[in-house]
Amino acid sequence: MSLPSKALIGMVHVGALPGTPHARQSLDELTRQAVAEARVLMDAGFDGLIVENMHDRPYVNAPHGPEITAAMTRVCLAVREVVRDRVMGVQVLSRGEREALSVALASGAHFVRCEGYVFAHVADEGVLAEAAAGPLLRYRRAIGAEHIQVIADLQKKHASHAITADISLTEACQAAEFFSADGVIVTGTATGHPADPAHLAEVRAATKLPVLVGSGVTPPLVAPYLQHADALIVGSWIKAGGVWSSPVDPARCRELVAARPR
C-alpha cells in the first residue's frame, strides 16, 4: 500500500516493553493501551499510524532481544485490526530496522521507519557507524518482505551531524534515493521540534520520492508543510498537553485533522 496523498500519520508509542528500564505493565496492558490509542487516531480521521517503542529509553543499538520483537509483533497484530484498510508502519528503536521489518511482515504492516539509512550518525545512544540500507534491503529480500516500504530519515533526531556536515540535505536525499529508499523524512533536531520549512523545500526539489515531515507538526504548520510534503507524522502535539509520553488526546487529534487543507 502506498501512502495516501497529504496523509496524516499518528504515532502510537507503546509503553515500555519487557526487559527495558521503565517496564511496569504486562503485555496484555500494553496491547490494550496501544489498541485504545490507535482507535482514537482512526476515529479522528488519521490516514494511518506508526507503532513505535519510544518508551524503551534509554535506547540501545540493535540487535535487540527476541522479547522486543515478540512483544512488538503481538501489539502490532492487535493494532492492525483497528487500522483495517489504512496504512500502518513500525519503528523499533534504536537501529532496529531489521526487527521492525520482521514485525511488519508478521503483522501485515505496510512500511518501516529507518533512522540510519544512509551515512553514519553520532546519536545520544551511541555511534551509528554503518548505514542500514545495504544490509536491510538484503534482509528484506531474504525474508520475502519486498512489499514493505522503507521510509528513511535523512538526518536522525537527537544526533550530531558534524561528521557529515559537508553533505547537504540534497546530497543525503539523493544518496537515499540511489540506495532504493521508498520515501524520505525531514525532521527537526529533536522530538517535537519543527522541521525547517527551507529544509523541506530543498528535499522536495531534490527527489520524486514521497517526502514526509517527521517531527514538530502542529495545526498552524499542517497547511504550510503540505505545500511540499506528501505526509506528516505526528507524535507529540496529539498527546495530552503536547507531551509525547502522555496519552493520545482525542480533541487535539480532531483539531489537527481539521487543520488539513480541503
The residue with cell 496529539 is 238
pLDDT of residue 186: 96
Weakest-pLDDT range from 57-61, 85-89, 152-156, 169-173: 152-156
Per-residue pLDDT tens digits for 99-142: 999 999 999 999 999 999 999 888 888 888 899 999 999 999 99
pTM: 0.95
* Interior angle at CA 129, CA 126 and CA 132, nearest 5: 110
Task: Give mean pLDDT, residues 223-234.
Answer: 96
Tell me if 195 sits within 8 A of 216, measured CB to CB. yes
Task: Give mean pLDDT, residues 230-235.
Answer: 97
pLDDT of residue 191: 85
Structural domains in the chain, sorted by start: 8-258 (3.20.20.70)
Q: How far apart are CA 183 and CA 172, in angstroms?
A: 12
Per-residue pLDDT tens digits for 190-220: 888 889 999 999 999 999 999 999 999 999 9
Asked whether the predicted pLDDT for residue 2 surpasses 80, the reply is no
Average pLDDT, the chain: 95
Q: Residues of the chain with pLDDT > 70: what percent?
A: 100
pLDDT band at 73 (very low <50, low <70, confident <90, very high): very high
Per-residue pLDDT tens digits for 34-44: 999 999 999 99
Task: Give mean pLDDT, residues 232-241.
Answer: 96
Asked whether the predicted pLDDT for residue 174 surpasses 70, the reply is yes
Q: In sequence order, what DSSP letters do the residues of 153-214 get, joined into one string?
A: ESS-SSEE-GGGTTS-HHHHHHHHHHTT-SEEEE--SSTTPPPPHHHHHHHHHH-SS-EEE-
Return the exposure string of 149-179: e unless at least 16 CB atoms fall within 10 Å of the residue's CB, then b: bbbbbbbbbbbebeebeebebeebbbbbbeb
Q: Where are the beta strands (DSSP E) in 24-138?
A: 48-52, 87-91, 111-114, 121-123, 126-128
